[in-house]
Structure 1
Amino acid sequence: MCGICGIYFLDRRPVSTAIVEKMSEQLKLRGPDGEGVWVDGSVGLGHKRLAIVDLTPSGRQPMSNKSGDIVITYNGELYNHPSLRVELEAAGYQYHSRSDTETIIHAYEEWGIKCLDHFNGMFAFALWDKRSSTLFLARDRFGVKPLYYYSDGRKFIFSSEIKAILAVPEVERSVNYHALNEYFTFQNVLTDLTLFDGVKILPAGHYLTVNAFSGQVSRPQMYWDFNFSSPIKIDFDEAVEEVYRLFNQAVARQLMSDVPIASYLSGGMDSGSITAVARKHLGRIMTFTGGFDLSSATGMELGFDERTEAENLSNLLKTEHYEMVLHAGDMEHIMPELIWHLEDLRVGQCYPNYYIARLASKFSKVVLSGAGGDELFAGYPWRYYLGINSDNADEYFRNYYNFWQRLIPDEDKVLLFQDSTYRQIVDHSTFDVFCEVIKQADLSLQTSADRLNASLYFELKTFLHGLLVVEDKVSMSHSLESRVPFLDNDLVDFACSISPIYKLRDIDRVNKHLDENDVAKYHYSDSPTGNGKLVLRKAMARLVPDDVTQRVKQGFSAPDASWFRGESIDYVNRLLNNRHTRIYEYLNHAYVSNKIMEHSTGKSNNRLFIWSLLSFEWWLRKFFD
């Protein structure tokens, strides 16, 4: 895992080594084990190395082929690198390292852009092909590794992190209002925009090219997408067997490393199953979990500490286990540092993840994560029931959209935003943005099964993508590589192809509305085993005890609803109600104050909105002051 960056002057100006080094320096935490810069005329590539596979100097980047006409800067891991290497060596390619970076070079030489169809892994790379004077950028299928870019007609700049792009003096900073609108609707950005105007993220499963002869930057091209429209005929027990086989294969693949591998362990089924398989292969593994001081928590948040469950699993699996406890003041302490590393604001409270990644990084350079299991196997039933029992497609779009307005409903935007901001976003329909994502799934939406698949597609493309972007930032800020075994090509393809009734019980059930702010949403079960992830629960029963597979879902979240009413409310008021507060250049102070008061008095639960306000405030201070 590494950090990559580069610049291509489309007006043919020469690139200086100094500017690439300046960009690369912004990525130093992503790669403390080595660095490299390559410059040739109007093209420059930079790299910061976190050495995981092939720790020798032969794995350094940027790396070129033997003739020097192909050069790459690459971030990620190809888990099928060993089998691809055998295939490419049989085709006559000679290797000079054990690095998977070299596999990407030879795969490109053999198959061109179609090489992407052969990769099973997480990656973001930029490859310069001197033969055609083309810069080729690509991102993995699921978006585990981020890749940002900026283009203004005279220059094209890219990087693993936005701050490296901002290091180029010619790049001006301003807020993208459409992205701001999406963020305060979904607590996410569903398009390829970021809050930095002019900076975009290359969508997952896409590539783009920049050609010197034409000076054109291509539109991002999709090379892969989740496919729910090609169901296979298989009975439930057969599906269980195949999920079990593919899961074991996926975890084993992702153990490829020349450094020790650790795992997060929450006490739940997903991380527990991953740890169980890894333990069988590695013999011994370190695990990490986080808990919370619940002395001031109330209601359902009193059940948010999973340390006991994690300890029980650790005892069963015989792992070397470490844990930490978070308190209300820990958020306040870490926010400026966290937002600097996040830079691309998405999804909810992530400071607990930041602390746990810091803990894991003291012992290991690689950690396994359970991300993706919920989105693939329907782990959020309270969400799906709200949309799938609609009478038609139009009703489904509206019902599901109403749920996904996590922060502010459309009718309140005129009250939330300052007039000058509202004029910039009034014609940007977040409902249209939402619908366009789901329409890409190409499903009829005429049945409950179709609508469930559409919901899973939406969450894989948006919610999971946001989680992955955040996970990359919080882990790499501690020079820690995070791997996600659920996001294996074969496992994902199979999960998308099986009947949705193997994932969710009672798909024709009508469910009452549940607010994402409401912590009770985590306890959706009407039965001991819950309603979601049916086939996965049955398959994982061979790996972890029944009390783990049958537990109701518990999210990894701090008791912020309670803390924002108690120990943290003074911090919220100090930050958001003083003369230095920046958010009121864009937001209406009266509306924000009312929402904070509603929460602090217990009238409503606005914990997600308050977190987003704090994040936006610190984002403005860190990047615009």
Structure 2
Amino acid sequence: MCGIWASVGLPATRAAIAAVAHRGPDGEGWHEHDTAAGLLALGHRRLAIVDLSADGAQPMSRTEPRLSVVYNGEIYNHPELRAELESLGHSFRTRSDTEVLLSAYAQWGESCLDRFNGMFAFVLWDQAANRLFAARDRFGVKPLYFWRGPGGAVAFASEIKQFTAVPGFVATLDPNTATDFLTWGVFDHSAETLFADVRQIRGGECASLSLEPGATPAIRRWYALPACGSRPLPPDIAIARFAELMSDSVNLRLRADVPVGSCLSGGLDSSAIVCLAARSLGSPLTTVSARYDGEAVDEGRFIDVVNAAVPAHPIAVHPDGADLAALLDRLVFHQDGPFASTSVFAQWRVFEAARAAGVPVMLDGQGADEQLAGYHPAFTAYHAGLLRQGRLGTLAAELAAQRRRHGTPAAWQAAVLLRAALPEAGRLALRRLRRTGRSPWLRPETARGRHQPLPATADLERLIESQMNETSLPMLLHYEDRNSMAHGIETRLPFLDYRLVELSVGLGGQHKIVGGETKWLLRRAMDGILPNLIRDRQDKIGFATPEKSWLAGPARTLVNEMVAEAARRFPTLFVPSALQQLTDDMMTGRRPFDFTLWRVISFAAWGKVFRVSL
């Protein structure tokens, strides 16, 4: 894992790579070259995970053809690709996957991307073609941004803060992206960012930039998920295939020349990873968990069950509200933006503890909920789809199972199905009616937004596609990358092996919810591997924190300060009186507590730290 920089037509700004020294504590590299488009600079900060020697340093080059690259990530199948390339006549001087990437591009060109099983963001200088080629992995695990600077200059970076080190960069708010975050809590759902002049290359996209004066990046999609539901399988075959791929995915992500550990929340996803990894390692696996003694969200009982079931070296951290208030500026600095809930702070503490324990690679469970219908709205989507398909017998059985397992009121189920029975035009009209006046604390003339959330009664297939590509996964990957890299930690995500994702998404709604159980496919694939108490859990509440008690207690002063900061810094975005009313109502219980208030707090802190203007 690393931090990268590439710029054309800008002055030498080595500060742009120094700004992400946290991403690569093991070394720095910098090359400069003159081109027709101006000075080309390639910068790299290294976190050494594979081939720890100086041979793996970047920028890395080869002479035939003449290529140079700065690269962030891991190609997990690099030993197999190396062997294939050697059979085609390539030779290697290092054990690094970076050299495999260079040789793969030399052999197969841009189509090399299809052969990589991993997470990556890189910028490659192809001297013969006189261009830069930049690419991001299928799901956007590793970040990649670009900025059009003065005079036609272009820069690529791992983190947005790197652009702030360049003379001429101005931190200006994109009000539409801000509105999407403040209203809906979505982030990284489009190419636009909160910084008006910065764009991201999204997961599964690549870009080509000719090194001629005035050229602009040409962006295209190199990867797309299979159509949801396009590859159905019988249940026994689906379970066996999922179990096989899940085990192989974990094993691939254990490849490293440094210690590997795992995050453990006590839920199904992280517990499955821990149990599979421990079986493969044959030695104690370091696990790191967040605990909240005496709070309803504490998962200690389940964490202890998993740690007792495998050879483990457990570590627990105890995040608290006072620390949150003290660390908020650091958190938004490393995140390059606000964040939707305080669970990001808890995750920060987990990775901080992993680094302190000397474990620079951590496995984690991101991606499972999105592809396997793990979030509660999946029930509504599944039931609505069954109704529209006329599968009334299955629908009745699933509704009864949901009531039995989860205590869902029958009246609530009936209301959902009535909405689902409406024609599309009726559902849209109902959504518009419910949306009216949703955020009176935002000025409508400024806060328009771009995001159009799916209706609650969308089919499950549409929900899965949205969560994978737009709403949930891109945002969580952003948080994960910044939190881990702030501590020089590489996180690896077995559920985002593209083979596993393509299997799950290809199945569509099939085998996702069965008998009122979400993630049915994973539960069955983990029979005999997971402790039954974990496999059969129906009460997992996500990676949650006692946010309400924190904000009402040790962080109460922070609430007042940041609400005032939001109104002062962005007067054309917020309505101060309505924003204060929102705050008072939530803090006194007149309005049910939700994540809205925290979004305002973290947004204000981000604006202050980066000196953002509108």
1:290 aligned partner: 290
In the TM superposition, what is the alpha-carbon distance from 1:8 to its structure 2 partner?
0.9
TM-score, structure 2 as length reference = 0.87
**Structure 1's 590 and 537: CA in aligned 2 closer, same or farther, altered over 3 A?**
same
Tell me whether 1:368 sits opposite 2:390 in the alignment.
no
Could you tell me which residue of structure 2 aligns to residue 216 of structure 1?
215
Report whether the alignment pairs 1:244 with 2:243.
yes
Pairing 1:467-478 to 2, within 5 Å after superposition: 467-478=476-487
- Matching residue's letter, 2:270: S
Sort the Cα spacing of 1:312 and 1:564 in 2 relative to 1 into closer, same or farther, 3 A: same
- Cα distance 1:320–1:272, how it changes in 2: closer, same or farther (>3 A)? same
* Aligned match of 2:441: 416
Aligned to 2:395: none
Q: CA deviation at 1:541?
A: 2.0
Q: Distance in 2 between matches of 1:65 and 1:200?
A: 30
**Aligned pair in 2 of structure 1 residues 475, 47: CA closer, same or farther (>3 Å)?**
same
Q: Does 1:36 align with 2:32?
A: no
Q: Deviations over 1:194-246 (max 9, x none)?
A: 11110111110000111023742234211111213463342112211111111
Where in structure 2 are the equivalents of 1:241-320 lying within 5 Å? 241-283=240-282, 284-294=284-294, 302-320=295-313
Question: What is the rounded CA distance, in whole Å, between the counterparts of 1:32 and 1:400 in structure 2?
Answer: 53
Structure 2 CA distance for partners of 1:154 and 1:311, relative to 1, 3 Å: same
5+ residue gaps, structure 2, are 385-419
Contact 1:503 1:535 (C-alpha < 8 Å) held by counterparts: yes
- In the aligned structure 1, how far is the partner of 2:5 from the partner of 2:534? 43
Alpha-carbon distance in 2 for matches of 1:401, 1:537: 35
- Say if 1:126 and 1:57 are closer, same or farther in 2 by CA, change over 3 A: same
| 1:358-437 superposed matches below 5 A | 358-363=352-357, 364-385=359-380, 389=384, 390-391=420-421, 394=424, 398=428, 409=435, 411-413=437-439, 415-418=440-443, 422-426=444-448, 428-431=449-452, 434=453
Q: Deviations over 1:414-450 (max 9, x none)?
A: x3234xxx43444x5432xx47xx9xxxxxx9xx9x8
**Displacement after TM superposition at 1:585 (Å):** 5.3
Aligned partners of 1:613, 1:571: CA distance in 2, in Å? Answer: 12
Query: Could you say what secondary structure the match of 1:503 adopts?
Result: coil
Match of residue 498 from structure 2:
489
Q: Select the structure with the greater relative contact order (CA < 8 A; seq sep ≥ 6).
A: 2
User: Partner residue of 1:77?
Assistant: 74
Partners of 1:579 and 1:6 in 2: CA distance: 34
- Distance of 1:400 and 1:550 partners within structure 2: 37
The more displaced of 561-570 and 490-499 is: 561-570
- The match for 2:469 among 461, 467, 470 is 461
Query: CA offsets per residue over residues 452-476 of structure 1, 9 Å max, x none?
Result: 1110110011211100011000010
Aligned letter for 2:292?
A: F
- After superposition, the Cα gap between the structure-2 partners of 1:230 and 1:606, relative to the gap in structure 1 and judged at 3 Å, is closer
Alignment partner of 1:22 is 2:15: yes
Residue 51 of structure 1 is aligned with which of 44, 48, 55? Answer: 48
Match of 1:156 among 154, 157, 173: 154
1:452 matched to 2:474? The reply is no
1:155-174 equivalence runs, <5 A = 155-174=153-172
1:388 CA displacement = 5.9
CA positional deviation for 1:550: 0.8
Decide whether aligned partners of structure 1 residues 401 and 292 sit closer, same or farther in structure 2, where only a CA change above 3 A counts.
farther
What one-letter code is carried by the residue in structure 1 that aligns with 2:276? V
Cα 1:242/1:480, change in 2 over 3 Å = same
- SS of the counterpart of 1:181? helix
**Cα contact 1:188–1:345 (8 A) shared by 2:** no
1:581 Cα offset (Å): 4.8
2:339 matches 1:342 = no
Deviation at 1:327, TM superposition (A): 2.1
**Counterpart of 2:68 in structure 1: which amino acid?**
V
Closer, same or farther: CA 571–145 of 1 in aligned 2, 3 Å = same
Q: 1:193 is matched with which residue?
A: 192
Q: Name whichever of 571-580 and 116-125 sits farther off.
A: 571-580
Cα contact 2:309–2:531 (8 A) shared by 1: no
Partner of 1:573: 560
Counterparts of 1:264 and 1:229 in 2: how far apart (Å)?
Answer: 29
What amino acid sits opposite 1:266 in the alignment?
A: S
What is the aligned counterpart of 1:550 among 536, 557, 561? 536
Report the count of equivalent residues.
Answer: 566
Amino acid at match of 1:423: E
Residue by residue, what CA displacement relative to the aligned partner does 1:508-542 show, whole Å, maximum 9, x if unpaired?
Answer: xxxxxxxxxxxxxxxxxxxxxx5210111111122
Per the alignment, do residues 88 and 328 of structure 1 end up closer, same or farther by CA in structure 2, a change over 3 Å counting? same
Distance in 2 between the 1:2 and 1:554 partners? Answer: 32
Unaligned runs of 5+ in 1: 295-301, 439-444, 507-529
Give deviations 1:557-599, integer Å, cap 9, x for gaps.
1111233334433331233247995344531111111111111
Moved over 6 A (4+): 399-403
Instruction: Output the aligned Cα RMSD.
Output: 2.5
- Equivalent pair of 1:166/1:173 in contact (CA under 8 Å): yes
C-alpha distance in 1 between matches for 2:271 and 2:365? 8
